[in-house]
Amino acid sequence: MTDWVVPTTFALFVSILAVASGPLVSAVDVTQQGTPLGDGNTAVTVDSVPTEQVTLEQGRFGSGRYHLAAPPAAITVDRVEGNPALRYTVDIPSLWTTATSRYELAGTEGTRMELRPEPIGISPQRVDQDSYDGILTIWIREGDRERQILLERITIEVKP
Amino acid sequence: MSVRERVSLGTGFDTDDLGIAVLRTAFGNYLGATLFLTALAWFGLYWRLGFFSNDQFTFANTLVGVADGHLFIDRAVYGPASGASPGTYLVDGHVYGRNYGIVVVSAVWLVALEAVSLVADVRVVVTGLWSFTVIGAAAGVGVWLDRRRLCVLTGTAVGAAVFVGNLLVATPLSTYWYPLLALQFTTTLAAAFTAVVLYRLVSRRYTDRLGVAAGLTAVFATPLGFWASLPKRHSVTALFVVCVCYTLYRSREAESPVVARRFRALTYAWVGPVTWVHAPEGFFLLVAITAVDLPTARSNGVRDLFVVGLALSVSLVPFFLTNLAISGQPLQPPRLLPGYSGDVLSGDGTAGGTSTSGSPADDGQFASGGNVLSRILGQFVASYTVLLDPERIVRIFLRHGYTDSLASSQDAAVNLSVLESMPLLGAIVVYPLFAARRLIRGVSLRKPHFGGRTDPITAVDAFSVVYVVLLFGLALTTLPLHHMFTMRYLHPLYAVGIYWVIRIPAVRRALETAGRSAVAGFGTTMLVGGPLYLCAIAVGDLVLGEAVQLYALVALAVAGAVGCWALLDTAVGGFESVGAAVLGIAAGITAVYLLVSGITLFPDTGEFLLPLSRTVSERLHFMRLYGSTPSYW
């Protein structure tokens, strides 16, 4: 039975901790909630966005679908208060589709961030042109306010 | 019962006789219990909190209703505000869900969870319980290896370390997830018990070692692990199919007619719960049982048939009562009722549409209305016609890849064929060879006998074949279909497939004589293959479909190797050690896929049962796969 002393001790520890952190006792709080999303404010500088190199590439390994491929856009986060959010979109109106990536900015002050377009899949049944017009945008969300900090018209080449 | 077994059942205290009887019934012996805990520990690693498909909204909303004490849905807590998620039905102004067999059982867990949450932090409780599955599994391994003390201490050290690690990164577990968690608990238990029952079946016929191999295969090397924590009917129906195999075997094997009759009755009793979950699968399970049981039973006297009929009827009572409460017709399951697409719940007042069209892709087999019998017949004819279409058969069974017959909005290449989902099934190519040999020897038509009766294993073989043929009849016409991932409509096939693989003499010989090679193959593949797969995704900048199809190609190659070995060993013999290694590798790559797909490819919301899984998922999250940071998944 001595084998079971250690696991039993552990069981006691877990039970006591579970109750101690439960709503009845609330003696300890072992779980932390993250910062709420989107609240705060920020200042960012857009360093570069891919205007020429955004392409639609067909998936390898027999996966068939096209996806957006592009070198990352780069931004420098100059100042952050709270946890504002950033939205990076590539809209392809004639395919009726938008790739949207979202980023939390908490903890990124003074860093350079790389933004990647969401790798949305587009069926080869729908791709019938060699290139598509696209609109690339970057938005900042600070609480209830959303502001656009960049808008570029781009051409998206379809790579076979 | 020996002290060894008593301790190893994971209680650590002297349990009273009733407790031991319950544990024996559920797990058989300590090995069954160990497999069970191993399964829970493994499934827990990639247990995601999130709605994987939108009919799970229906599931959760129905559970909220059942926990409130009624079968209908009155609050659309999850999914669209109208509550019109797939699988909802409208009867007399009330909205109903389906799969009540799972929902009602889950209501018990939900109530328990809510009770626990009154006194304890649920996140701490679930992570603590997970650590105990590790400790329990380690203790079982200790008994098996005769190194109990070492294993218990190691297990506790690992369990405690992971527990502390979990606490360091823990976030509160929102009450929002409780109903989902309860449903996931039901399906995870079902998947874990599938491994236990397979172990019991195989170890009863062969050896403990083969039984353990079968159980571990179920956990690590089949899509059973993919669907374990995803609340769908599949884990549950697969469980009852292997239960039928087991009790059918026991009923044929038993010396005493009383015991035989008891197990025979139990075989029919599994039909009830399956029907309660999904009526068509239950019905065809019954057809398969009857087709095999009646001709091979040792007697079909009035008394036998009465007991069997009674067991079947009693097992169906919950199904009848549920239907009676919903539609007033005991034989009319929710799937045959008018579909709900309207707006009863969001308060517009007007009773919504009652579309009865029900496309074949409606996550099920039967839509409403019409002559059920002719529909079934039509469905079976259409399904078997698919067998004549090589293109579709290749897509379903061999290589799925990009499939242009799927609609352009649904053709993401995230689905795997049957063989890609379970490369170990490559071994069953030897069955035609067996058939040919038998024909040449001319013994095929003689009924094999077992003390004047049908050999129990022959009955199980026959049942497995008849059941799978019926399953094909039910499902093939809808395939290939989007959102199948592992050809989930054929899910019980994987559980039966393990049995088929173990029945191959070459496989048994390899595992019996070169078990170490199998373990080495499995371990190496896990340790090398996992990081390699992650590197390929990161370095090759893969998107989701590419990552899935890369695995599929590797799985196909390994399945080919398994098939070649099985043929060679059966024809010539003498490749046990190579064979065991190949089987281990095939199991290993599936395990890698289960883990990687669960943690990084399909993380739903990014929220996991274990806080550490969440952290790992966020670290391994490749921008290319999702674009956004994890909080926005």
Q: What pLDDT does B317 receive?
A: 96
Does residue A45 sit in the same domain as residue A28?
A: no
Lowest mean pLDDT, pick from B20-24, B422-426, B428-432: B20-24
Which of B8, B114, B121 best probes binding to A when mutated, by most A CB atoms within 10 angstroms? B121
Mean pLDDT of B519-539: 95
Give the helix/strand (H/E) hosting B513.
helix B505-513
Q: How far is B540 from chain A (nearest CA, A)?
A: 10
Is it the case that residue B342 has pLDDT exceeding 90?
A: no
Mean pLDDT of B140-150: 94
Q: pLDDT tens digits, residue range B17-52?
A: 888 888 899 999 999 999 999 999 999 999 999 998
User: For residue A46, how far is the Cα from the chain centroid?
Assistant: 17
Is it the case that residue B403 has pLDDT exceeding 50?
A: yes
Q: What pLDDT does B476 receive?
A: 94
Q: Round to whole Å and give the CA distance between B87 and B154.
A: 46
Q: Is B624 on the interface with A (CB under 8 A)?
A: yes
Answer yes or no: are the C-beta atoms of B74 and B345 closer than 8 Å.
yes
- CB contact under 8 Å between A125 and B131, yes or no, is no
Mean pLDDT of B359-374: 52
CATH of the domain at A77: 2.60.40.2550
How would you classify the pairing of strands A85-92 and A131-142?
antiparallel
Does residue A137 sit in the same domain as residue A69?
A: yes
Q: Is A26 on the interface with B (CB under 8 A)?
A: no
Does residue A3 sit in the same domain as residue A22?
A: yes
- The number of beta carbons lying within 10 Å of the beta carbon of residue B611 is 22
Does residue A53 sit in the same domain as residue A25?
A: no
Of residues B627 and B172, which shows the higher confidence score? B172
Q: Which of residues 62-81 of B touch A (CB under 8 A)?
A: none
Length of chain A: 160
Lowest mean pLDDT, pick from A20-34, A80-94, B224-238, B403-417: A20-34
Does residue A5 sit in the same domain as residue A57?
A: no
Does residue A25 sit in the same domain as residue A44?
A: no
Tell me what ipTM this predicted complex has.
0.93
Comparing CB atoms, the residue among A24, A63, A104 nearest residue B629 is: A104
Does residue A94 sit in the same domain as residue A124?
A: yes
- CB contact under 8 Å between A6 and B152, yes or no, is yes
When the pLDDT of each residue in chain B is averaged and rounded to a whole number, the result is: 89
- CB contact under 8 Å between A63 and B549, yes or no, is yes
Task: Work out the pLDDT band at B222, boundaries 50, 70, 90.
Answer: very high
Comparing CB atoms, the residue among A6, A24, A116 nearest residue B624 is: A116
Lowest mean pLDDT, pick from B97-106, B546-555, B565-574, B615-624: B615-624
Is it the case that residue A3 has pLDDT exceeding 90?
A: no
Does residue A73 sit in the same domain as residue A121?
A: yes
Q: Round to whole Å and give the CA distance between B522 and B38.
A: 16
Q: How many CA atoms lie within 13 A of B617 on its CB side?
A: 30
**Tokens standing for B77?**
């807590």
Show residues of chain A in contact with B549, CB under 8 Å.
59-63
Is it the case that residue B8 has pLDDT exceeding 70?
A: no
Q: What pLDDT does B111 receive?
A: 96
**Tokens standing for B180?**
């989902």
Mean pLDDT of B152-170: 95
Torsion, Cα B157 B159 B163 B165, to 10 degrees, reads 60
Which residue in A has a C-alpha nearest to residue B121's C-alpha?
Answer: A22
Q: Round to whole Å and give the CA distance between B218 and B418.
A: 15
Percentage with pLDDT > 70 across chain B? 91
Does residue A144 sit in the same domain as residue A112?
A: yes
Does residue A145 sit in the same domain as residue A108?
A: yes
Please state the three-class secondary structure of B567-621 as a single string: HHHHHCCCCHHHHHHHHHHHHHHHHHHHHHHHHHHCCCCCEECCHHHHHHHHHCC
Single-letter amino acid, residue B49? L
Q: What pLDDT does B624 receive?
A: 67
Q: What pLDDT does B452 receive?
A: 60
Lowest mean pLDDT, pick from B2-6, B58-62, B480-484, B565-569: B2-6
Contacts 24+ apart (CB under 8 A), A51-54: A51/A136, A51/A152, A51/A154, A52/A154, A52/A155, A54/A90, A54/A117, A54/A134, A54/A136, A54/A154, A54/A155, A54/A156, A54/A157
Q: Which of residues 98-127 of B touch A (CB under 8 A)?
A: 117-121, 123-125
Q: Which of residues 521-550 of B touch A (CB under 8 A)?
A: 540-546, 548-550
Q: Is B167 on the interface with A (CB under 8 A)?
A: yes
Q: What pLDDT does A26 receive?
A: 81
Q: Is A7 on the interface with B (CB under 8 A)?
A: yes
Q: What pLDDT does B535 receive?
A: 93
Lowest mean pLDDT, pick from B43-47, B418-422, B453-457, B536-540: B453-457
Q: What pLDDT does B603 receive?
A: 82
Mean pLDDT of B264-268: 96
Please state the three-class secondary structure of B257-283 as a single string: HHHHHHHHHHHHHCHHHHHHHCHHHHH
Q: What pLDDT does B504 receive?
A: 96
Comparing CB atoms, the residue among A8, A23, A119 nearest residue B627 is: A119
Nearest to A106 by CA among B632, B167, B604, B49: B632
Does residue A14 sit in the same domain as residue A72?
A: no
- CB contact under 8 Å between B545 and A3, yes or no, is no
Task: Work out the pLDDT band at B353, boundaries 50, 70, 90.
Answer: very low
Please state the three-class secondary structure of B414-443 as a single string: CCCCHHHHCHHHHHHHHHHHHHHHHHHHCC
Sheet of strand B72-73, all strands in order from the earlier edge strand to the far edge? B72-73, B94-96, B89-91
Does residue A81 sit in the same domain as residue A99?
A: yes
Q: Which of residues 390-449 of B touch A (CB under 8 A)?
A: 399, 401-402, 404, 408-409, 411-413
Task: Work out the pLDDT band at B622, boundaries 50, 70, 90.
Answer: low
Complete DSSP assignment for A2-63: GGGHHHHHHHHHHHHHHHHTSTTT-------PPPPTT-EEEEEEEEE--SS--EEEE-TTTT
Q: What pLDDT does B194 receive?
A: 98
- Chains A, B: CB contacts within 8 A come to 169
Percentage with pLDDT > 90 across chain B? 72
CA atoms B366, B367, B368, B374: torsion sign:
negative
Q: What pLDDT does B242 receive?
A: 97
Q: What pLDDT does B15 receive?
A: 52
- CB contact under 8 Å between A14 and B124, yes or no, is yes
- The number of beta carbons lying within 10 Å of the beta carbon of residue A110 is 9
Q: Round to whole Å and give the CA distance between B63 and B413.
A: 32
Q: pLDDT tens digits, residue range B191-203?
A: 999 999 999 999 9
Q: What pLDDT does B372 receive?
A: 77
Q: What pLDDT does B4 receive?
A: 44
Q: pLDDT tens digits, residue range B492-516?
A: 999 999 999 999 999 999 999 999 9
Q: Please, which residues have CB within 8 angstroms of residue A67's CB and are 6 or more apart in sequence?
A: A56, A57, A59, A119, A120, A121, A122, B543, B545
Which of B3, B11, B398, B402 best probes binding to A when mutated, by most A CB atoms within 10 angstroms? B402
Answer yes or no: are the C-beta atoms of B419 and B586 closer than 8 Å.
no
Q: How far is B149 from chain A (nearest CA, A)?
A: 6
Is it the case that residue B180 has pLDDT exceeding 90?
A: yes
Q: Round to whole Å and give the CA distance between B49 and B602.
A: 11
Q: pLDDT tens digits, residue range B273-329?
A: 999 999 999 999 999 999 999 999 888 999 999 999 999 999 999 999 999 999 888
Q: Is A59 on the interface with B (CB under 8 A)?
A: yes
Show residues of chain A in contact with B156, CB under 8 Å.
6-7, 10
Q: How far is A21 from chain B (nearest CA, A)?
A: 6
Show residues of chain A in contact with B147, CB under 8 Å.
none
Mean pLDDT of A102-117: 89
- CB contact under 8 Å between A103 and B628, yes or no, is yes
Q: Tell me, what DSSP letter sits at residue B543?
A: -
- CB contact under 8 Å between A23 and B412, yes or no, is no
Q: Round to whole Å and give the CA distance between B4 and B66.
A: 42
Mean pLDDT of B378-403: 94
The tally of domains found in chain A comes to 2
Q: What pLDDT does B298 receive?
A: 87
Q: Tell me, what DSSP letter sits at residue A91?
A: E
Buried b (16+ CB within 10 A) or exposed e, B182-210: bbbbbbbbbbbbbbbbbbbbbbbbbeebb
- CB contact under 8 Å between A8 and B12, yes or no, is yes
How would you classify the pairing of strands B453-454 and A40-48?
unpaired
Answer yes or no: are the C-beta atoms of B226 and B548 closer than 8 Å.
no
Helices (H), B12-121: 17-27, 30-45, 55-67, 100-119
Q: What pLDDT does B352 receive?
A: 41
Torsion, Cα B353 B356 B359 B365, to 10 degrees, reads 130
Is it the case that residue B519 has pLDDT exceeding 50?
A: yes
Which residue in B has a C-alpha nearest to residue A21's C-alpha?
Answer: B121
Which residue in B has a C-alpha nearest to residue A121's C-alpha?
Answer: B412
In terms of C-beta density within 10 A (0-12 exposed, 13-18 middle, 19 or more buried), how is residue B339 classed?
A: buried
Q: What pLDDT does A99 receive?
A: 93
Q: Is A118 on the interface with B (CB under 8 A)?
A: yes
Q: How far is B219 from chain A (nearest CA, A)?
A: 25
**Which structural domain range is residue A14 located in?**
1-32
In terms of C-beta density within 10 A (0-12 exposed, 13-18 middle, 19 or more buried), how is residue B597 classed?
A: buried
Q: What pLDDT does A2 receive?
A: 65
Which residue in A has a C-alpha nearest to residue B554's C-alpha?
Answer: A61
Q: What pLDDT does A144 receive?
A: 87
Nearest to B487 by CA among B596, B379, B414, B594: B414
- CB contact under 8 Å between B624 and A72, yes or no, is no
Which residue in A has a C-alpha nearest to residue B153's C-alpha?
Answer: A6
**Tokens standing for B262?**
């008891």
- CB contact under 8 Å between B548 and A63, yes or no, is yes
- CB contact under 8 Å between B156 and A72, yes or no, is no
- The number of beta carbons lying within 10 Å of the beta carbon of residue B438 is 13
Is it the case that residue A16 has pLDDT exceeding 80?
A: yes
Q: Is A99 on the interface with B (CB under 8 A)?
A: yes
Residue A79's beta-bridge partner residues? Answer: A43
Please state the three-class secondary structure of B464-476 as a single string: HHHHHHHHHHHHH
Q: Is A111 on the interface with B (CB under 8 A)?
A: no
Residue A97's beta-bridge partner residues? Answer: A92
